[in-house]
Amino acid sequence: MKKIPLIVKILLGFVLGTAAGLLTARLASSELTNSLISFISPFGDVLVAMLKMVVYPIILFSLMYGAASMPLGSSGRVGMLVTIWYAATSLFATVFGVAMAFLMNPTMSSGAEKIAAGNASAVSAMTSSTEAKTLTDFLLGLFENPFAALAEGKFLPIIVFAIMFGLCARYILDNASTNEKIKKNVQLVIDFCDGAQQVSFKIIDCIVAYFPYGIFALSFANFARNGVLLFGPYARITLCVIVCVFLMITLVYPIAVAIFCRENPYKVLAKFRQPMLTAFVTRSSAATLPMSFLACDNAGIDRKLSSFSLPMGATVNMDGVCVHLPVFVILAANMFGHELTLLQVGTLCVSIMFASIGAGGIPGGSVFLLFMVLEAMGLPSEQVTFIVALALGINPILDMFETACNVTGCNICTYIVSRMTKDNKVTS
C-alpha cells in the first residue's frame, strides 16, 4: 500500500465508496441502507472531526510565523511591490471566483429537497447565527479576545490577531532601537511558532494517511443516502472550478504580462510549464518551489528576488483557493435556501482572502479552510460538516487545478516584478 501514491488511494476510496453507496441505494432495503449508513458514516465523521481539530492551530501558527517572517524594511520597494501584487491578485481572484460561482450557479437542482430530507442532521433549521448583522457588528467581530475566539472556533478574529501579532513581532526585530534582550525573546516566540507549525503539519501527515478510508465512508454515506442525485452537483462543481482556473491561467495572467511587461504572454507562460505541471501532480505549492526556482533562473530572474517572492507566494498567494472556495459557498446557499445579502457577499470575499493566506502551500489545504469560510457565512455546524463532506470527495481532482493556478500566479508575479525592476520602472 505504501507504494501506491496517496492521490490514487484517495481517488480509489472515493470511487469505491461511491460505487458501494449507489449499489446500496439501488439494491438494499431502506432499513438495511440506514443500518449500513449508521455503521459506516462515523468513520467519515472522524475524518471531518480531525480536520476541524487541526485547522485552528495551523492557521494561528502559520499566520503568526508567516507575518513575522516578512521583512518590513529590508526588502525595499521591490518587496513592497511583491506584497501588493499578491494582495491585488488574491482580491481579484476572490471577486472573480465569487462572480463565476454566481454565474455558473452550482446547485443540487431538483434533488435538493430529497437530499435535505435524507440528511436531517445537516439541514436543521437556521439558528440565530444567520440573523442579519450590520457592518459595525462585522468589524467589531474581527477584534475579539483571541483565546475566546480559539475556544469558540471563530476564525476571523483568530486570523486578524495572528497577522497583527506577526507583523508587530517583525517590527520589533527590525527596529534598531529595540533592546537586544527583547529581540532575542521575540525571536524565541517566532521560532516557537515555526516549531508549532511544523508539528501541526506532521499531525496533518497523520490525518492525510487516513484520508482514503474517511473519504470512502463519506462517499458511501452521501451516495447511499442520496443516490445518483449527487452526480449532477459534482459535475457542475468540477466544471465551475476548472473553468475559473482555466480562465485565470489562460486569460487573466497573460493580460497582466501583456500590460506590465509588453511581451508575448504565452511565451512567458511556456517558461513556467514545468513548475505548473509539478504543482498539478504534487498538489503542493511548497513542494513545487525547487522547480519554480529553476524556472525563474532560466527566465533570467535575479535569485535575490525569487528567494523572497516564491517562498512568500507559496504561503500567502493562493489564487486557486480564491476561485475554488466560493463554489462551495454558493452551493451551500442554494442547497439550504440561504439568500446571500450584499454584506454577506462582502464578508465572503474578505473571509476567502484571509483564508487563502492560511492555506500554507500544503496538499488539500483549501479543505481545511472551507470550515472557516462556511462558518463565517453563518451556516450552522451541521450544514458546514455536510458541505465539507461533499468537498472532500471531489477535492483531490479540484486541488490539482487549484495548485497549478497558485504556482502560476507566484511565478508570473515574480516575472513581472523582475521585468519592472530591470526596466527601472521600480527601484529597490
The pLDDT value given to residue 248: 92
Asked whether residue 328 is assigned to any structural domain, the reply reads yes
Asked whether residue 112 is assigned to any structural domain, the reply reads yes
Residue 312 is part of a domain; what is its CATH number?
1.10.3860
Instruction: Give CA separation, 398 vs 65, 229, 283, 389, in Å.
Output: 28, 20, 10, 14
The pLDDT value given to residue 409: 92
Length of the chain: 428
The pLDDT value given to residue 249: 93
Asked whether residue 67 is assigned to any structural domain, the reply reads yes
The pLDDT value given to residue 127: 34
Residue 262 φ/ψ region, left for φ over 0, alpha for ψ in the -120 to 50 degree band, beta for the rest:
left
Q: Give the separation between CA 357 and CA 155, rounded to whole angstroms.
A: 13
Asked whether residue 428 is assigned to any structural domain, the reply reads no
Radius of gyration, CA atoms only, the chain: 22
Higher-confidence position of 408 and 51: 408
Range of the domain at 48: 6-422
Mean pLDDT of 400-404: 85
Predicted confidence (pLDDT) at residue 75 exceeds the cutoff of 60 = no
pLDDT band of residue 396 (cuts 50, 70, 90) is low
Predicted confidence (pLDDT) at residue 125 exceeds the cutoff of 50 = no
Reported as a single tens digit per residue, the pLDDT across 214-233 is: 888 888 887 787 666 656 65
Mean pLDDT of 18-35: 86
Reported as a single tens digit per residue, the pLDDT across 231-243 is: 665 677 788 888 9
Asked whether residue 82 is assigned to any structural domain, the reply reads yes
The chain-wide mean pLDDT, for the chain, equals 78
Mean pLDDT of 40-44: 88
CA atoms within 13 A on the CB side of 26: 9
pLDDT band of residue 158 (cuts 50, 70, 90) is confident
Amino acid in the structure at residue 105: N
The pLDDT value given to residue 247: 92
Mean pLDDT of 64-76: 65
The mean-pLDDT minimum among 174-178, 183-187, 386-390 falls in 386-390
Mean pLDDT of 337-362: 72
Mean pLDDT of 50-73: 74
Q: Are 373 and 146 in contact (CB under 8 A)?
A: no
Reported as a single tens digit per residue, the pLDDT across 275-288 is: 888 788 666 776 67
Asked whether residue 347 is assigned to any structural domain, the reply reads yes
Predicted confidence (pLDDT) at residue 266 exceeds the cutoff of 90 = yes
Asked whether residue 427 is assigned to any structural domain, the reply reads no
Percent of the chain clearing pLDDT 70 (strictly above):
80
DSSP-derived secondary structure letter, 134: -
Asked whether residue 322 is assigned to any structural domain, the reply reads yes
Higher-confidence position of 154 and 134: 154
User: Structural domain tally of the chain?
Assistant: 1
Long-range contacts of the stretch 31-40 (C-beta < 8 A, 24+): 33/224, 33/225, 36/220, 36/224, 37/220, 37/221, 37/224, 37/225, 40/217, 40/220, 40/221
The three three-digit cell numbers of residue 94, written as one number: 476572490
Predicted confidence (pLDDT) at residue 387 exceeds the cutoff of 70 = yes
The mean-pLDDT minimum among 104-118, 164-178, 310-324, 326-340 falls in 104-118
Mean pLDDT of 251-269: 92
User: If you average pLDDT over each of 328-332, 370-374, 376-380, which comes out highest?
Assistant: 328-332
Mean pLDDT of 288-304: 83
